[in-house]
Amino acid sequence: MSIPAFGVGTFRLQGQAAVDSVRNALDVGYRAIDTAQIYENEADVGQAVAESGVAREDLFITTKIWVPNTARDKLVPSLKDSLARLRTDYVDLTLIHWPAPDNGVSVDEFMTALAEAKAQGLTRQIGISNFPIAQTRAAIAAVGREQIATNQIELSPYLQNRTLTAFLKEQGIHVTSYMTLAYGKVLKDPVIGQIAQRRVATPAQVALAWALQLGYAVIPSSTKRDNLASNLLARDLRLSDDDMAQIAALERNGREVSPQGLAAEWD
């Protein structure tokens, strides 16, 4: 299994803004797109892909199953609806968006249903999102760790999640970082700014390069074509051990996303 190191996110983008962002991303060289049922922009992503002229086999499309659709009898039908909106016969990766421990659907039930979606050819890989260690263990028990392509979690210089990321590495489960820029907060950080000056880079490139050097995949989003192109250059930025150590020291448990009822107890 392989997860592209760099993709474009679409969280909070809808309508023409989503279409334009994905079209611009594809134009400047992105080939991985991250969406979700709850973003209500799968049709916009499908439109952007159709208009781009990029061949489907050259793309890596990820979507996520929203909480009301995780029950055994709802997951596969909901994914088929997602495929229709995306104008594709399959997605490359489907994630359970949140563990939602109080939702009444067990990890075993929704992971088994997700594995069935894969068996039906609706998705090439499966995985999880926002799962702490306990729920990740339950997912492994349900389908086997070799089935779980990634755990997409909030990670930034301000929230480094070292206990969870160490566990995922030990299990051979790839880490995908979202909110890597912490809603833009890390872009104003003086330490990040100093590293950016030394490296003749942008603060966003520094934060993204930090995550890439730790082995994580990243999925930053932007409505600006110039920013999309600039972010991609993080792939070519090499930070020194001293740079990485300075960023490591920025940890402050700065979590931005933890919706009540959806999030399980964090590690």
Catalytic entry in 30, 39, 178, 216? 39
Q: Tell me how crowded residue 126 is: count the other CB atoms within 10 A of its CB.
A: 24
- 63 and 72 in contact (C-beta within 8 Å)? no
DSSP 194: H
On whether the CB atoms of residues 221 and 187 are closer than 8 A, the answer is: no
Q: Give the HSE-up count for residue 214: Cα atoms under 13 Å, Cβ half-sphere.
A: 28
190-225: b or e for each residue (b if 16 or more CB lie within 10 Å)? ebbeebbeebebbbbbbbbbbbbebebbbbbbbeee
Active site residue 39: yes
Catalytic residue annotation? 39
